[in-house]
Homo-oligomer: A and B are copies of this chain.
Amino acid sequence: MRVVVALGGNAILRKGARGSAEEQRDTVRSACAQLTDLVETGHELILTHGNGPQVGRLLIQQRAAAHEVPAMPLDLLGAQTQGMLGVLLQQQLGNELRARGLERPVVTVVTQVLVDAHDPAFDAPDKPVGPHYTETELEFLTATAAPAGELWTVGRAVFRKVEGGLWRRVVASPQPLDIMEAVAIRALVGAGVITVCAGGGGMPVALSGRALAGVEAVIDKDRTAALLTRLVEADALLVLTDVDAVRLGYGTPEERPIDELSPEDARKLLADGEFPAGSMGPKVSAAADVAARGAVAVISSLACAADALAGRAGTRFVAP
């Protein structure tokens, strides 16, 4: 099968870790051992991954050096993490494949994802990025006074009051419409190259006339993964996260894993607010979209990846 694998953030940087290069490399290495099992089974992989913690760290570094070096916008920071996390994946997956006698090329394609500059998400930015600021600090940095409400707009940036009276920047999370490098990605996949792409949901770009320009936003990586599944004509999307399956009644005494879900039932549960917007919601939504178009989608954990593709683990989304 041709499979798009969407790796959760935990596959690169475990929660609570400091995030040194060695930690990230070792975590990626162990993820790549699981991925190599999939290659060994005969699957053709296209990989995508999250980048939230890494972009957050770049934003902290930019803040610390703001008096010395111009800060880069969020879209270019995303491209930086695509380079760094991409090379970790291609290096460690290449090593693991070679160790098992599987000589398969692995590359990373830096990916731009088209969004609509008029996407309604831009009217209500809600995705938090980067460090927390105290009110005093943000007053000093922005040379403006703290507003009475929950939102603090400075130029193009919007900050939202979060827990503990701190502030955090929020950006829009628009819908991905197209992958600008799809032709090249298809050429690579067709040539038998394992391709890492659209890291962090891809770098958001919008059309200004006929020209593309970067946009400061964050595209949900699972939504982009669903689009990628369609554009590379994959047979399956495998969303790997912290839990082995989607659960109903999560955190309640009635909690139970779901084995199979139709796109219709998934959408009903999403509409009922069964899955949280910030975590399982976008994954279920992406999986339902893929299934509605006739491909298979499975949500499971890295440890269960091979079983999930074989139908022995995870939550499977299939059109009836």
A193 within 8 A of B: yes
A271 within 8 A of B: no
Give the number of residues in A that approach B within 8 Å (Cβ atoms): 54
Assess the A203–B87 pair: CB atoms within 8 A: yes
User: Please, how many angstroms separate the alpha-carbon atoms of A72 and B24 in the complex?
Assistant: 10
Query: Copies of this chain, how many?
Result: 2
Assess the A184–B180 pair: CB atoms within 8 A: no
Minimum CB–CB distance for A113 against chain B, Å? 11
| Chain B, residue nearest A29 (CB) | B211
| Chain B, residue nearest A110 (CB) | B108
Q: Which of B64, B72, B184, B210 contacts A107 (CB 8 A)?
A: B184
A205 within 8 A of B: yes
User: Please, how many angstroms separate the alpha-carbon atoms of A63 and B108 in the complex?
Assistant: 28
Assess the A187–B193 pair: CB atoms within 8 A: yes
User: Please, how many angstroms separate the alpha-carbon atoms of A20 and B62 in the complex?
Assistant: 12
Q: Which of B95, B109, B213 contacts A109 (CB 8 A)?
A: B109
A315 within 8 A of B: no
Instruction: Mark A18-33 against chain B: 1 for CB-CB distance below 8 A, else 0.
Output: 1111000000000000
Instruction: Mark A193-233 against chain B: 1 for CB-CB distance below 8 A, else 0.
Output: 10000000001010000111110000000000000000000
Minimum CB–CB distance for A255 against chain B, Å? 36
Residues in B with CB closer than 8 Å to A68 are 60-61, 64
